Structure 1
Amino acid sequence: MEKRSRKIIPFFVLLLGILAISTASILIRFAQREVPSLVIAAYRLGIATLLLFPLGWKRKYTANLKGKDWVWLVLGGFFLACHFAAWITSLEHTTVASSVVLVTTTPLWVALLSPLVLHEKPGSSVWLGLIMAMVGSIWIGLQGNCAFEGMSISCLMGDSIQKRDYLVGNLLALSGALFASGYMLVGRYFRPRISLLPYITIVYGVAAVCLLGFVGIAHQRLWPYSGRALIILVALAIGPQILGHSAFNWALRFLPASFVTLGLLGEPVGTMILASLFLAELPTWGEIVGGGIILAGIYLASRSTLSTPN
């Protein structure tokens, strides 16, 4: 009984992480009124690193790290930076529906790569839960952007979106999913070997430096912005990044990467709830159905993972 209780704790931490990252879309929407997307990402990781640095960067934490370990840490930070840069930028070129459909393939890539990279083979229940959650996420992405007429479906693009931009946006969204899966796989490989605080401090710091480089390449300004925007950026760093992403990184020490990444699909459900509360955007029946499918898939996979002996 005690062993089962210890196994349940990572699930609760993962749930808290889902709730925290669900606030990201709301905060980003407010910040984008005056701050470019790449700058938002750079501030998010930069502020998070500065807040974590006093506790997370101590010589005793990194004394035993070897050259190969640093390569993995830098690689994880680079993947995280590329994920944010590619996914957020994709929203400027393609429709929200297309971006959501492609970026929610992250758990699929993790499940496919885990046997090769980590030698973790997801069970049949995890695969079924993964498919259900992805179907629900895709269904949510289609709502409001596609018209359902009988057995047919038609999705429309705005007149301002050119075919070339649409293709670029889709490729960026898919790249964001691939980079996110790389970030999760690196975390699953490395987390059992290092404590949470030094790990996230280093990885977030590397991601922040990379994003600052991306901002420079894009010739976007880092300053000045209003006090309101800065407060939102700080909230984005504390909530979705430090609390949300760190919860996922903590869970990677105890749960398979394929399942932890599956939890990311719970974000659209939390975002729908928060949007209805703070943006007066009530979910449609289609979105509610999609959210129910996602939760059912996560529940199915969690039961399988919880019952698997360590």
Structure 2
Amino acid sequence: MNFFLAALGVLGVASSGPLIAATLGATTVSALAIAFWRNAIGAAVMATPTLGREPRQFGQVTAREFRWSLMAASALALHFGCFITSLQLTSVAAATALVCLQSAWIAIFQLFRGIRHRWPVLAGLGIACGGVAAITGFDMGSSPEALLGDLLAVAGGALAGLYTLAGGKARQTMTTGTYTTLCYGMCAAVVALLALFSGQPLVGFDGAGWLGIIAITICAQLVGHTAFNHLLATMSPLLVSMIILLEIPGAALLAAVFLSETLPAGTYAGLTLIMVGLAVVVIGQKGSRGAIGRGDLPAPPLVGLGTD
């Protein structure tokens, strides 16, 4: 079941970059409008079955769960702002690759929290990052505009790492429906404030623009993000973020097919390295008690975190 959800999640998030780039390039939709509506619609969809089955869950959210969810939502909102804007400035392949380096950021953040990973885990992470480099090559920062886009994507990756760690905490005690409803809803509220201060419209788009927003919401938000948020209950944030690396070759392939972007020369070699790195991390974490689950998270008391 976890394998199926991981594959579904990768397909969902891999469509994000190409769909966003196509929507921004062909319609009047603003970057923050995409972030707002995908989260607002996602929250409404996730809330419906949860309210129908267990409406009391929302009233039982603890203060600590709320704080972790708010941290995840804020990081997610800023992540979307950086990533979606970067897609307007640099290539889909470069932006996706840099933002997906959240696994490296997670390892760094965990290091500051006193968590030490076994050397096979670090080696696997290094191999996977080598796969990212193979895909992007040396075309990043080819112009001042592209360089700014690359820097925004790097920032987006760090924020995605925070979102993933915070989500992992929240998912220890919250159901998928409760957490995603709360996180997506608060993220939409933060994005609305950002749009208000930046002057970016959230409505008034043509039919093609709304169609793009709906496609992004279904594929990337409801399928991709929700699948990975569900996996956080049984997998470590680092392992989940490593699986998300598969989004990079997936996005590059989709951009080549649908947006006529040149497929990076190292796509297939990079995919191979990412898969090898992921396998090494899985094997390395099996040697650590509970690491495949949530062994890299603090011990009880349990609190609530979320991911990208």
TM-score by length of 2: 0.82
Distance 1:76 1:20, change over 3 A: same
- Equivalent-residue separation in structure 2 for 1:305 and 1:12 (angstroms): 20
Where does residue 238 of structure 2 map in the other structure?
A: 258
Distance 1:309 1:15, change over 3 A: farther
Where does residue 56 of structure 1 map in the other structure?
A: 50
Residues 56-115 of structure 1: per-residue CA shift (max 9 Å, x gap) = 345421333222221111111111101111222234456767645643431111112235
Cα offset for 1:233? 0.9
- Equivalent-residue separation in structure 2 for 1:41 and 1:237 (angstroms): 9
- Equivalent-residue separation in structure 2 for 1:83 and 1:30 (angstroms): 19
Where does residue 141 of structure 1 map in the other structure?
A: 136
Is the contact between residue 76 and residue 183 of structure 1 (CA under 8 Å) also seen in structure 2?
yes
The alignment partner of 1:192 has SS state of: coil
What amino acid does structure 2 have at the position aligned with 1:122?
H
Where does residue 126 of structure 2 map in the other structure?
A: 131
- Equivalent-residue separation in structure 2 for 1:171 and 1:282 (angstroms): 21
Distance 1:99 1:282, change over 3 A: closer
Distance 1:16 1:171, change over 3 A: same
| The 10-residue stretch of structure 1 (280-289 or 201-210) with the greater mean CA deviation from structure 2 | 280-289
Equivalences for 1:203-282 in 2 at 5 Å?
Answer: 203-281=183-261
| The 10-residue stretch of structure 1 (17-26 or 64-73) with the greater mean CA deviation from structure 2 | 64-73
The alignment partner of 1:63 has SS state of: helix
Where does residue 300 of structure 2 map in the other structure?
A: none
Distance 1:172 1:269, change over 3 A: closer
Alignment partner of 2:69 out of 70, 73, 79 = 73
TM-score by length of 1: 0.82
- Equivalent-residue separation in structure 1 for 2:96 and 2:6 (angstroms): 21
The alignment partner of 1:156 has SS state of: coil
| The 10-residue stretch of structure 1 (45-54 or 259-268) with the greater mean CA deviation from structure 2 | 45-54
Distance 1:260 1:247, change over 3 A: same
The gaps in structure 1 that reach 5 residues or longer are: 1-8, 147-154
Is the contact between residue 131 and residue 271 of structure 2 (CA under 8 Å) also seen in structure 1?
yes
What amino acid does structure 2 have at the position aligned with 1:200?
T
Is the contact between residue 128 and residue 275 of structure 2 (CA under 8 Å) also seen in structure 1?
yes
Where does residue 157 of structure 1 map in the other structure?
A: 143
Where does residue 184 of structure 1 map in the other structure?
A: 164
What amino acid does structure 2 have at the position aligned with 1:261?
S
- Equivalent-residue separation in structure 1 for 2:95 and 2:227 (angstroms): 25
Between the two proteins, the alignment pairs up a number of residues equal to: 286
Cα offset for 1:279? 3.8
Is the contact between residue 126 and residue 259 of structure 1 (CA under 8 Å) also seen in structure 2?
no
What amino acid does structure 1 have at the position aligned with 2:99?
V
Cα offset for 1:116? 4.7
Residues 203-243 of structure 1: per-residue CA shift (max 9 Å, x gap) = 01111111111111111222221222212211211111111
Distance 1:64 1:222, change over 3 A: closer
| The structure with more radius of gyration | 1
Equivalences for 1:286-301 in 2 at 5 Å?
Answer: 286-301=266-281
- Aligned: 1:112 with 2:104: no
